Structure formats: C-alpha cells, structure tokens
C-alpha cells in the first residue's frame, strides 16, 4: 500500500534529491522548499532512509488540517487515534516548524501537540505515555505554514547527515548531505580521479567514494526511528540492509590534501572508519605546490570563507587557487564552494555555472570552472562542453550575492601575511602502481541485525598504490 512521504533537505539540493528519488522508483515526486514530496510503500520508506545521499529526514504524514488557533491544533491532533502509534510503556517526542503570523512560538505549538496526545491517553486508559527528548521510541513532527498544518511521523530519528563514519572532526566541518549534493551536482559518478586539495576532516572524500561505489550511506548508522515502530518489518529491512547488488567497482582513485597535519590525521581516521582507505589517499600538502595530475580528474573544494574559519590574507589564497587551476589543471573541471563574491573574483577565471546553495546559514555559491588551453570558441569547436543541459537548468535558478554584504577589512591586508597561510609543503606525484582490484562482490555479508555492519576489514585485500615523492 502506497502512502504520502516527505524528504527534507537543504535549500539548493531539492532537484538533486528529486532525481535520487526518481531513480529509486518513488512515485509522484514533487519538489518544494527544502523538501521533496513523494509516494511509496513501507519498503520505499526504508530505502529512502537507507539509500538517499541528499535527504536529512524522511517524514510520513499522519494528517493535514487547517490551524487558525492553538485550540484548532489541540482539537485536530486529539482526533488522531494515537494508540496505533504509541504502545503502552513507550516514550515520544514532538518537533515543530512554524511559519505563521498566528503562531509565533514553535515551542508553544509543540506543547499543544504533546498535551493533545497525553490527554487522549489519560481519558481513554487512565495512564499517559512519557515524553523523552533524548531517545524517544516515537518521534512526531508538525509543520505549520500560515494556516496549513501537517502532522507527521519522523521515520529517521537522528538527522540522516549523521552517517556514522565520522570519528573526529576539524573546525567547521562540511555537512555530509551538502557534500554529497555538491558531488552529485558535478555529475561525477566515479568515472575519473577525484581531488579535494583542502579536505579538512575528509567529508567530500568519503561521500565521493560512497557515490563512486553506489554504496548506501545508511550502512554506517546504528539505527533509524522506524525500527521502533509497532509495524516495523525486521525481515524487510534486513533484506534492504544486506543487499549490495547495486554497488559497483571503482577503478579510479580519490586524493585528499590539506596544509594542516591535524586535519590530515582526522581525515585518515574517518576514512579508515568508513573502510575506504583503498580508494582514498590523504597527504599533507599546500595547494600552491599542486602539479597537474597524470590522469583525468575533477577537483571539488570548499576553501575557507573567512567566517567560521579565519585565514590570514584570504584573498591571496583564492588568487593562488585560480593560478594553480589555470596552470596545472588544464583539460579538467574544478568546482569551488564559497561565500563571498570578493573571493571568487580573486580566482580570476570565468565560471561556466553558478549554483546557489546554503552551507549552514551562509548563502553560498557553488561554481564550476572548465579549465582549457586557448580560446573558448576553439574549445567549443573541438567538441568541448562548458555547460550541460542539467547545469543550464540549475543556472536558471541563479541568484546574485546580496548587495552590501559585510566584508571585513582584514581581508585587504598586504601580501606580507601570505606565508602565514600558504606554506611550503610538497604534493606527492600522482604516478602510482595499479594492481588488479579484488571483486567487491567476493567480500560477502558482514552484518546481521541487530547491530552494525562491520567494515573494519573492508580495506584488507584491496589494491594499494605507491606514491613517488617529487624530486
């Protein structure tokens, strides 16, 4: 039996999420603001939680109603037969999101929903369920936009961006869902090498490996909220969880670099936890020493913006990025996420596409740079593609940076601070010894519910690569 479902995401990733759902076989897929609605059965709901890379939460609507007042909310919620959702002795929580003139305080709405549920149980049974904020058995979500209210079951629990592989973190880490969305926007599916020259804690690297192998990001999670539902189908979820038939081999490699040794060690720890060390190599290096890779590659990077992470002479860093791309990355595409127009200007290259995305509360742009020798018309005459049809559609949604956006004077410091930011580490050569890859299908199942799939031995037996130091 099919029912309505809602997948929540970040602003700017709605179309990517809709494409994921369509490929998964969801029906009636429609994009909204920070969400995509669709229909599917219980298996689709399980798969959406387990397989989607760009969803942060999967909600199952219980009812829709008009809410003109707090009493309307209370009465409508009380009409629901809550005994079919909350079993005796089980706990619950309520989360609310409100965009309404009538309801200024989302917490007030939360209390009204809780009161209605508790009062119904008390009137019908003489007892009441307990509320648990930290680890409830059932999670409910109410969304009110003007007078339109939707009450949902939260099938995910903890946000889906919390994959489960992150062991350590650096300052201002990139959100996993945003990282996956950025990679999917590029169209990369593992058909070339992948490079992140400012990799931080390694989020882009790991998400790239998952996409390259078509691995479900849910394999690392310990639990989903729907596992506590009264109608949870253990056999169905075990079947989904242990099915790796859609996974594919990845015959290229992923390279991560960072100037900060702590970031390098953090990224290596996270990569090992994900069991992806055979696909990902991480070295301490400065992008100013970057040399043209031996193989076809794509660069995806999230440099500092000067907001959460302060960087001496930020503008010089972006100027250096443009110089390295222009001189050492010909014939390849580079994608850069940033926040300030002033930073992008320093790159000094004309982007072929600009896509608005939000990194947390920061209104950013994700820009593509197609690096080629000679003139644009010659590049096109030789069959070069600057902008795909999909990218053109994304560009149709383009916005401009806000006028008069604050830009701190410290960014205009003289170049005397350059060496404080751009140090002298060497990239390793991109030459490597290629060995035959062990077939991933031979690794067998390593997981039986309940518990967590064990990827601790995934790295063993896979090909290793040798890197020769530059002279």
For residue range 354-368, list pLDDT tens digits in order. 999 999 888 899 999
Q: Are residues 201 and 88 in the same domain?
A: no
184 shares its domain with 322: yes
Amino acid 106: pLDDT: 84
Q: Is 150 in the same domain as 180?
A: no
What span, in angstroms and rounded, lies between the C-alpha atoms of 170 and 23? 34
Give the SS3 label for residue 366: strand
Q: Total domain count for the chain? A: 2
Residue recorded with tokens 């019908």: 124
Q: Mean of the pLDDT values across residues 403-426?
A: 36
Token pair, residue 401, equals 């940076």
pLDDT at position 379 over 60: no
The pLDDT of residue 440 is: 30
Greater confidence (398 vs 441) lies with 398
Quick one: pLDDT at residue 190?
A: 97
Residue 462: pLDDT above 70? no
Sheet holding 280-284, edge to edge: 280-284, 254-258, 193-196, 297-301, 333-338, 362-370, 353-359
Q: For residue 458, is pLDDT > 80? A: no
Same domain, 55 and 148: yes
CATH number of the CATH domain containing 67: 3.30.2130.30
One domain, residues 12 and 141? yes
- Indicate the helix (H) or strand (E) that contains 142: strand 138-145
Q: Regarding predicted confidence, which is higher, 453 or 269?
A: 269
**Whether 199 and 99 share a structural domain:** no
- Give the whole-angstrom CA distance, residue 118 versus residue 2: 29
pLDDT band at 99 (very low <50, low <70, confident <90, very high): confident
Picking from 54, 52, 43, 45, the residue whose alpha carbon sits closest to that of residue 10 is 54
Residue 387 sits in a domain whose CATH number is: 3.40.50.150
Preceding omega of 450 cis (within 30 degrees of 0)? yes
Instruction: Please compute the mean of the pLDDT values over residues 211-236 and round it to a whole number.
Output: 95
Is residue 190 one of the residues assigned to a domain?
yes
Helix or strand run (H / E) with residue 75: helix 70-78
The average pLDDT across 227-254 equals 95
Name the least confident of 46-60, 175-189, 263-277, 387-401: 387-401
| Longest CA pairwise span in the chain (Å) | 80
CB-side exposure of 344: number of CA atoms within 13 Å? 20
Q: What's the whole-number mean pLDDT along residues 369-375?
A: 77
Query: Between these two residues, 171 and 107, which has the higher pLDDT value?
Result: 107
Last residue of a domain, one of 379, 400, 421: 421
Per-residue confidence (pLDDT) for residue 132, from 0 to 100: 85
- Whether residue 453 is contained in a domain is answered as no
Residues 38 and 144 both lie in one domain: yes
The vertex-433 CA angle with 454 and 278, nearest 5°, equals 10
User: Residue 360's pLDDT is what?
Assistant: 84
CA distance 224 to 160: 9
More confidently predicted of 300 and 430: 300
DSSP 143-195: EEETTEEEEEEESS-S-TT--S------SSPPPHHHHHHHHHHHT-SSSSEEE
375 domain-assigned? yes
- Confidence check: pLDDT of 419 > 50: no
Q: Are residues 344 and 205 in the same domain?
A: yes
Q: Across the strands, what pairs with 257?
A: 283
Whether residue 324 is contained in a domain is answered as: yes
CA atoms within 13 A on the CB side of 353: 26
Give dist(CA 349, CA 283) in Å, integer. 27
The answer on 14 and 69 residing in a single domain is yes
Structure tokens at 58: 């999967």
Structure tokens at 368: 């593509």
**Domain annotation covers residue 187:** yes
Local confidence band at 170 (pLDDT 50, 70, 90 cut-offs) = confident
Decide: 316 and 356 in contact? Cβ < 8 Å.
no
Rounded CA-CA distance 228/225 in Å is: 6
Mean pLDDT of 117-131: 92
Lowest mean pLDDT among 225-234, 266-275, 306-315: 306-315
Identify which has the larger pLDDT, 252 or 467: 252
Residue 104 has pLDDT above 90, yes or no: no
Mean pLDDT estimate for the chain: 82
Q: Is residue 92 part of a domain?
A: yes
353 and 414 belong to one structural domain? yes
Percent with pLDDT over 90 in the chain: 64
* Model confidence pLDDT, tens digit, residues 9-21: 999 999 999 999 9
354: helix, strand or coil: strand
Same domain, 256 and 299: yes
- Record the tokens describing residue 310, joined without a space: 């302060």
pLDDT confidence band for 291 (50 / 70 / 90): very high
264, two tokens: 């390098």
Name the residue range of residue 17's domain: 3-154
Instruction: Kindly tell me the burial class for residue 307, based on how many C-beta atoms sit within 10 Å of its own C-beta (0-12, 13-18, 19 or more).
Output: middle
Distance CA 369, CA 189 (A): 18
- Sequence-distant (≥ 6) Cβ neighbours of residue 98 within 8 angstroms: 104, 105, 106, 109, 143, 144
- C-alpha to C-alpha distance for 192 and 296, rounded to whole angstroms: 6
| pLDDT score of 398 more than 80 | no
Q: Do residue 103 and residue 211 come from a single domain?
A: no
Residue 436, domain member (yes or no): no
Among 137-141, 160-164, 415-419, the minimum mean pLDDT is found in 415-419
Domain assignment present for 53: yes
pLDDT at 372: 79
pLDDT at site 141: 95
Per-residue pLDDT tens for 228-241? 999 999 999 999 99
């Amino acid at each position: 039996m099919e029912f309505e479902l809602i997948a929540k995401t970040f602003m700017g990733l709605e179309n990517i999420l809709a494409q994921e759902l369509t490929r998964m076989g969801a029906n009636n897929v429609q994009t909204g603001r920070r969400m995509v609605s669709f229909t599917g059965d219980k298996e689709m709901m399980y798969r959406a939680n387990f397989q989607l890379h760009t969803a942060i939460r999967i909600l199952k609507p219980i009812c829709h109603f008009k809410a003109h007042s707090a009493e309307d909310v209370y009465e409508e919620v009380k009409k629901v037969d809550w005994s079919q959702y909350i079993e005796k002795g089980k706990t619950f929580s309520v989360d609310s999101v409100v965009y309404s003139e009538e309801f200024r305080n989302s917490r007030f709405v939360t209390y009204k929903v809780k009161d209605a549920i508790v009062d119904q149980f008390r009137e019908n049974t003489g007892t009441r369920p307990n509320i648990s904020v930290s680890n409830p058995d059932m999670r409910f979500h109410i969304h009110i936009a003007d007078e339109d209210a939707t009450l949902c079951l939260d099938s995910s629990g903890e946000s889906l961006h919390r994959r489960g592989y992150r062991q350590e973190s650096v300052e201002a880490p990139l959100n996993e869902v945003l990282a996956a969305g950025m990679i999917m926007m590029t169209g990369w599916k593992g058909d070339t090498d992948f490079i992140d020259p400012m990799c931080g804690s390694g989020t882009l690297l790991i998400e790239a490996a998952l996409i390259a192998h078509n691995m479900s990001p849910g394999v690392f999670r310990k639990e989903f909220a729907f596992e506590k539902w009264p109608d949870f189908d253990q056999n169905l979820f075990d079947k989904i969880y242990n099915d790796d038939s859609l996974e594919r081999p990845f015959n290229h490699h992923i390279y991560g670099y960072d100037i900060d040794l702590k970031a390098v060690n953090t990224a290596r720890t996270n990569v090992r936890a994900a069991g992806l060390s055979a696909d990902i190599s991480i070295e301490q290096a400065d992008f100013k020493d970057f040399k043209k890779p031996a193989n076809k590659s794509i660069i995806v990077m999230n440099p500092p913006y000067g907001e959460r992470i302060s960087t001496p002479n930020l503008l010089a860093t972006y100027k250096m990025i443009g110089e390295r791309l222009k001189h050492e990355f010909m014939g390849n595409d580079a994608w850069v996420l940033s926040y300030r127009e002033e930073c992008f200007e320093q790159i000094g290259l004309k982007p072929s596409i600009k896509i608005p995305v939000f990194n947390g509360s920061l209104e950013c742009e994700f820009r593509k740079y197609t690096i080629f020798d000679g003139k644009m018309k010659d590049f096109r005459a030789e069959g070069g593609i600057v902008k795909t049809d999909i990218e053109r559609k994304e560009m149709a949604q383009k916005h401009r940076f806000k006028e008069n956006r604050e830009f701190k004077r410290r960014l205009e410091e003289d170049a005397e601070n350059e060496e404080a930011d751009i140090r002298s580490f060497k990239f390793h050569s991109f030459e490597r010894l290629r060995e035959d890859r062990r077939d991933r299908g031979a690794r067998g199942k390593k997981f039986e519910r309940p518990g967590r799939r064990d990827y601790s031995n995934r790295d063993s037996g896979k090909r290793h690569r040798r890197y020769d130091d530059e002279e």
